[in-house]
Every structure is written in structure tokens, then in C-alpha cells.
Chain A
Amino acid sequence: MDETSIGWWGVPLAIFAGAIRISTPFLFVSLGEMVTEKSGRINLGLEGTLIMGAMSGYGIAYLTGSPWLGVLVAGLVGIAFGMLHAGICSLPKVNDIAVGIALMLLGTGLAFYLGKPLVQPQAPNLPSINFGWWSDLQQVQSALKINALFIIGVVLAPVFLWALRNTRWGLILRIVGDSSDAARAMGYSPLAVRLAATAFGGFMAGVGGSFLSLYYPGSWNEGLSSGQGITAVALVIFARWNPMNCLWASLLFGGASALGPALQSVGVTQGYYLFNAAPYVLTLLILVLSSSSHRHIAGAPGELSVTR
């Protein structure tokens, strides 16, 4: 193996490369969910949306030969799922967490049903940009091949932060999330804003899902997502609804997820499956440390049911 030629240096390098690769879906889902939660609603169904995005993006890329068209369609499917969630939640007496669980089940089922013929064929993958041209080492080169979606996500995070703080849209979103009464008094419809915010969250989750099937691991199968959607929802709470924190948290999670494979590449195979649980353990630890039974989590939207 090439990895052994640079010995243990392969571990941090693999974690770095893995952090970027694995964090991309986390980044997109968490940025979208951040917008949804800012409007005062939580969408746990993003797990299902993610898988639907992965399946539809892969299918479209396979049929048309264009991975970017696949990404777009995955986003549109995500919008449809987001609107379904928001539509049901705008009925009276409906609990958004329960609807999320239902859509998780529906999205997973639909994706596996419709995606069955897609397990075999190979769709074109998304391009990556090579930042490692300066190095002779093959490992460094492959670690610095960075996918285009990650770069888009990295750009989006500060844009979101700016938009939330400085634009009219950001203000309306925050008002609806903090007090729907205040929003109504100002003449904005909380249901309409939440519909838009949830649809947007669905779009981002769909795009994040398409990354799974179109870049890394880069194929469609039923074991593609293992809780990235739900982990990203928890990650938003950890990120305190701040887009830049979403970026850092996603990188941290990507790194944690890359730990097992990175150690395996240098021959440490003990506890491989336990290392796979690292992101979940990390999420849980962070939730425990950042929550409190006595007060609201700082920065939480006032209308959000999950923090009440």
C-alpha cells in the first residue's frame, strides 16, 4: 500500500481528506436545517430527504449523463419533501417531530423502492478540483482533491451568516422563529415563512444527499446513508444556529467519521465498528454538554419545540 510509505503521517492526512469528503453532506443538511429551525420548526425528516436526494440525483445523472443536473433534481425533490413537511405541519394540532419521523420512513421507503434499478449502473460523478498539484506524493494529491460542492458549501456559510444578520429576509426569518405573534402583528404569515424555510432546508438536504451518491462514496445503494441526516439536525443545535459554526461542526464530524477508515489504512483494525459510531457518540456528548434543564440554550429560536 502507498499509505504505508509515509507511515503514520497517513493518519492525519486521511482524517483531513476524510473530514472534507464526509463533512460535505453534513454541511449542506445542517445549513438548510439551520434555516428551517430559525423559522421555529424542526424537520427530522431530512434523513429521508437525504436518501431521496441521493437516489434521484443518481438516477438523473445516470439518465442524462450530467451530474450537475442530478444535483439540481435532488434539490427539487428535497423542496417537494420540505413542502410536504411544512404543509402537514401547518394543519392544526400536528406535531412537527412526529411528521419528521413519518417522512423519514416515507423517504427511505420511496428511495429504496424507486432506486432498486439503480444499484447496478454507474452514473458519472461530480468533478473535483485538484489543489495538490504542487506535491509529488500521491497521498497528498488525492487528499487535496477537493470536490466542488464542498467549496460551494464553504462559501455559502458566511453568506448565510451575513444574510441572516443584514437582510430583510433574514430579519423576517428570525422574527417568525422567535415569536410568531410578533410576526403576525407585523403582517407576516408565520406559516408561509416556515413553508419557505422548510422547503429551502429540503433543497439543501437533497443536494447533500446527491453528494453521497455522486461523489463520495459515489454510488447508489441502500446502505448509503446511516443517520447523516439526523446527525446534522442535532449538529445545528450544537452549532447554536450559527452558519459558521455549522461549517466547523461539520468538519469536526467529518473528521470523527474518518477516524475508523484512517486507522484501518495504517493497519489498526481493532474496534473498526466502534470508530464508526464516533460521530454519534460525539453528537451525543456535545448535546449533553451544551444543553441544560434549567434554561434555554443560548441563541435558540423561541418557537422551536425541540429546545422547550
Chain B
Amino acid sequence: MNSDLVLRFGAGAKIFAVSLFAIVLSLIVFGIFVALSGVNPLDVYDLMYMGAFGSWFSWQNTLLRSAPLLLTALCTALPAQMGMVIIGGEGAFVLGGLAAAAAGLLLSDMNAPALIVQGVMVIAGMCAGGAIIASAGALRHWRGVNETISSLLLSYICIAVLNQMVEGPMRDPTSLNKPSTRALPDWAMLGNIPGMDIHVGLIFGLLFCIVAYVLMFHTTFGFAARMVGGNVRAARMAGLPVGRLILVVTFLGGAAAGLGGMIEVAAVQGRANATIASGYGLTGILVAFLARQNPLIVIPVAILLGGIDASGGLLQRRLDMPDASVVVLQGIIFVILLASESVQGHLNILGWLPRIKPRTSAVAAAKGAE
């Protein structure tokens, strides 16, 4: 049992070290890049730290931006447990926001109690997002359509639907410059966590990550799902309902992103418009990969990338850098991270950790159990 823990800790530490190495290397490469475009990299790093984690104010800003990332990352991380690469989080996020706005407006017009309005908005957002990603899962399972491409195409379709709805049937005639739906009444909006300037969406995100982790790694359902990811044929031989597992897990992933969209509408924007498609879905993909698709590790990674996101505004204002600077850094991190994946296991950076093969540890665990 003990050696099993050491093994787990060792593997985790190794992954952590490689990821940290990738991030540090990316910061160096990004520093060279900004230096070439005539900005002092040290100023950039300093401002990024200030803007992300320098004060309680910037911490709040960082946490606000990490809330949607927690949820969109799950949209990639959960299906990844079954060996699927889903990149349609943006679409699920957008559609979730739109559905939540529609449900919220409908119910608040009927003067339903606030808690019911919010509850139905949560359900509507999750169902809309879940349905989109589950359809990518279903197409993969029953028609063999590549889920990466189909989820991205669905995502573009969702954004078109959002534009159509806010420019057409759901448009508030008074929104002239930026077509939007009508605003939700104040009483139907999600409030802040007591004592902070952070909306409760952060708590939704944290809870979803923890529940997803427990579900995937500590239940028989999760074991079955990960078995499908490991080897579909073996899972079928073992009699697992592969199709149903794929549907449920992809639905949960999409529901997470849809909930993110609902929070964006019900706690931030107050209405649905084109701004809810602002790239949280794309950054979520990076968060999931950086967290090695582990829902629990998604939490610190989302906070880190939320911080990078939050510092973008400061870079823009103080150093007059383009708002795409943050995307460049994210792209560099992503590329270097994937390249470093192959380093893992070859370079024994943490040579001092005992190297135990999984087989021996399993035997030891079995002996311990006897």
C-alpha cells in the first residue's frame, strides 16, 4: 500500500516537474519574443505578476476569469478519459449561455421565485451544452465521425445560432450598437460569494471539478469509462455499455461548459450577446491538456491561466501591447508542453525518487491486503 502511494506521488511529481519546466521555458521564449518586438521582458513579467496575483484585487480578477475556465476545461478533460479529443467547449459554452438566457427571461417574466429561475437556468444551460457535446460523442460512436472535427464544426454552428438569435427573434429592440437579448432582472442574477467580489460561479466550477474527479477516479462508473478509453474492444468484451458510457461522459463534459455559459450570462453579462463567445472555450482546451486531463489538477491550472488572462488588460494599458499577447503566450505554452511530453520518462529529472514498476507495486498492494 505504502509503495503504491510513493509510486503515485512519484509519478505526480514527475508530471508536475515536466509541466513546470514547460511553463518556465515558455515564459523564456515569450520573453525573447516580446524583447524582439521592443518591449522589456522583465517589465512584462512584473506586470503579469502584478495583474494576476499581485494584490487581493488582482486575485479576485484572476479567480473570476478562472471560473469559466474550470468548466470549459472539463469539457475536454472528461471525454479525454475515454480517449476522445473534444474541442467544442466554446460552442457548448455559448449555447449554454443562450439557453440559460432564454429560460431565465421566460421564467422571470412569469415572476417565478428567484431560486427557481436560477435553478432552471442552470438546468437549461447544462442540458444545451451537454446535448451538443453528447451529439459529437454519439456521432463518434455510432457513425465513426472524428469527434475533434465534429465538435469544432458544432461549435461554429452554435456561434451562428447565437448570432441569429440575438440579432433576430430574441433581440432587445433597445440594444442598438451591440445586439443582445433583454437583460435579466437583477433579482434573478447570481450573487457574489459573501465577503468577496467574486460571483458564486467560482464555487460551481470548483464543485464540478471535484465531483468530476471523484466520479472518474473513485467510482465503478469512472473505472468503466476509463476502461473504454484504454481499450474499447476489451471494454466491450467485459460487457460494458460502451455507447451509453460515451454518451454520459460527453454529456457531462458539455454540461460543464454549458454551465460556464450560464454563469457568464447570469453572473457577468446579465444578457446573451456575441461577447459570450470570447474564447473561454479555447483556453479551456489548453487548461485541460496542461492539467493532463485530470479534473482535480484543472483547478490550479485554471487559476494560473486565469491569471495570465487577467494580466492581459494591464499589459495592454501600461505597455501598449496588443491584446493578443496573452494568446501568443498560451500558444507557446501549449506547443512546448506537448513537445515536453516526449521528454517525460526519458529524462529522469527526479532521479532521487524510488523507481518502482507498477507491477511490483500492485503485487505489494495485494500482499498488504492479505
The residues of A with any CB-CB pair to B shorter than 8 Å are 44, 48, 84, 88, 91-95, 97-99, 101-103, 105-114, 116, 226-227, 230-231, 233-234, 237, 270-274, 276-277, 280-281, 283-284, 287-288, 291-294, 306-307
Can you give 24 A-B contacts (C-beta < 8 A)?
A91-B341, A93-B342, A94-B339, A98-B85, A98-B338, A101-B334, A102-B289, A102-B335, A105-B327, A105-B330, A108-B327, A109-B325, A109-B328, A234-B153, A271-B164, A271-B168, A273-B160, A273-B161, A274-B160, A284-B154, A284-B157, A287-B145, A294-B144, A306-B146
Question: Given the interface contacts A102-B335, A105-B282, does A113 sit within 8 Å of B341 by beta carbon?
Answer: no
B interface SS class: helix
**How many whole Å from B33's CB to the nearest CB in chain A?**
9
**How many whole Å from A40's CB to the nearest CB in chain B?**
15
A288 and B331 contact, CB distance less than 8 A: no
Residues of B within 8 A of A94 (CB): 338-339, 341-342
Mark out the residues of chain B between 204 and 218 whose CB falls within 8 Å of any chain A CB in the assembled complex: none
Listed residue (A101, A110, A111) with the most chain B CB atoms within 10 angstroms of its CB: A101
B87 and A101 contact, CB distance less than 8 A: yes
A109 and B338 contact, CB distance less than 8 A: no
Q: Say yes or no for B241: interface residue by CB 8 A criterion.
A: no
Q: Say yes or no for B12: interface residue by CB 8 A criterion.
A: no
A interface SS class: helix
Inter-chain CA distance A44–B139, complex, in Å, is 19
- Report the count of interface residues on B (CB-CB < 8 A): 47
**How many whole Å from A211's CB to the nearest CB in chain B?**
20
Known pairs A101-B148, A288-B143 / 7 extra A-B pairs, C-beta < 8 Å: A101-B87, A101-B334, A102-B289, A105-B334, A107-B331, A116-B322, A293-B142
A-B contact count (CB 8 A): 150
A291 and B145 contact, CB distance less than 8 A: yes
A109 and B285 contact, CB distance less than 8 A: no
A277 and B157 contact, CB distance less than 8 A: yes
Question: Given the interface contacts A101-B285, A108-B331, does A91 sit within 8 Å of B342 by beta carbon?
Answer: yes
Interchain CB contact (< 8 A) of B324 among A92, A112, A307:
A112
Residues of A within 8 A of B149 (CB): 44, 230, 233-234, 237, 287, 306
**How many whole Å from B37's CB to the nearest CB in chain A?**
8
Give the nearest-CB partner of B148 in chain A: A97
Residues of A within 8 A of B167 (CB): 272-273
Inter-chain CA distance A277–B159, complex, in Å, is 9
Q: Say yes or no for B332: interface residue by CB 8 A criterion.
A: yes
Using an 8 Å CB-CB cutoff, how does the interface string of B314-333 with A read, 1 for contact, 0 for none? 00000000111111111110
Q: Say yes or no for B163: interface residue by CB 8 A criterion.
A: yes
Give the nearest-CB partner of B135 in chain A: A284
B163 and A273 contact, CB distance less than 8 A: yes
**How many whole Å from A164's CB to the nearest CB in chain B?**
23
Give the nearest-CB partner of B162 in chain A: A273
**How many whole Å from B252's CB to the nearest CB in chain A?**
21
A112 and B327 contact, CB distance less than 8 A: yes
B331 and A280 contact, CB distance less than 8 A: no
Residues of A within 8 A of B152 (CB): 227, 230
Interchain CB contact (< 8 A) of A98 among B289, B326, B332:
B289
B328 and A110 contact, CB distance less than 8 A: yes
Inter-chain CA distance A91–B338, complex, in Å, is 10
**How many whole Å from B177's CB to the nearest CB in chain A?**
17
B328 and A106 contact, CB distance less than 8 A: yes
Interchain CB contact (< 8 A) of A277 among B156, B322, B332, B341:
B156
Question: Given the interface contacts A94-B342, A102-B338, does A288 sit within 8 Å of B157 by beta carbon?
Answer: no
Inter-chain CA distance A60–B299, complex, in Å, is 43
A106 and B332 contact, CB distance less than 8 A: yes
Question: Given the interface contacts A288-B145, A292-B143, does A276 sit within 8 Å of B160 by beta carbon?
Answer: yes
Residues of A within 8 A of B150 (CB): 284, 287
Inter-chain CA distance A97–B338, complex, in Å, is 11
Inter-chain CA distance A42–B285, complex, in Å, is 19
A102 and B327 contact, CB distance less than 8 A: no
Residues of B within 8 A of A88 (CB): 335, 338-339
Q: Say yes or no for B286: interface residue by CB 8 A criterion.
A: yes
Interchain CB contact (< 8 A) of B153 among A97, A99, A231:
A231
Residues of A within 8 A of B332 (CB): 106
Residues of B within 8 A of A293 (CB): 141-144
B339 and A91 contact, CB distance less than 8 A: yes
**How many whole Å from A46's CB to the nearest CB in chain B?**
12
Interchain CB contact (< 8 A) of A109 among B153, B160, B168, B324:
B324
Using an 8 Å CB-CB cutoff, how does the interface string of B264-302 with A read, 1 for contact, 0 for none? 000000000000000000100110010000000000000
Residues of A within 8 A of B87 (CB): 101
Inter-chain CA distance A91–B156, complex, in Å, is 32
Question: Given the interface contacts A101-B87, A288-B139, does A274 sit within 8 Å of B322 by beta carbon?
Answer: no
Give the nearest-CB partner of A109 in chain B: B327
Residues of A within 8 A of B328 (CB): 106, 109-110, 113
Interchain CB contact (< 8 A) of A105 among B141, B146, B331:
B331
Interchain CB contact (< 8 A) of B335 among A99, A227, A283:
A99
Residues of B within 8 A of A103 (CB): 331, 335
Inter-chain CA distance A91–B323, complex, in Å, is 32
A110 and B163 contact, CB distance less than 8 A: no
Inter-chain CA distance A280–B325, complex, in Å, is 29
Mark out the residues of chain B between 67 and 121 whose CB falls within 8 Å of any chain A CB in the assembled complex: 85, 87
Residues of B within 8 A of A281 (CB): 157
Interchain CB contact (< 8 A) of B334 among A95, A106, A280, A294:
A106
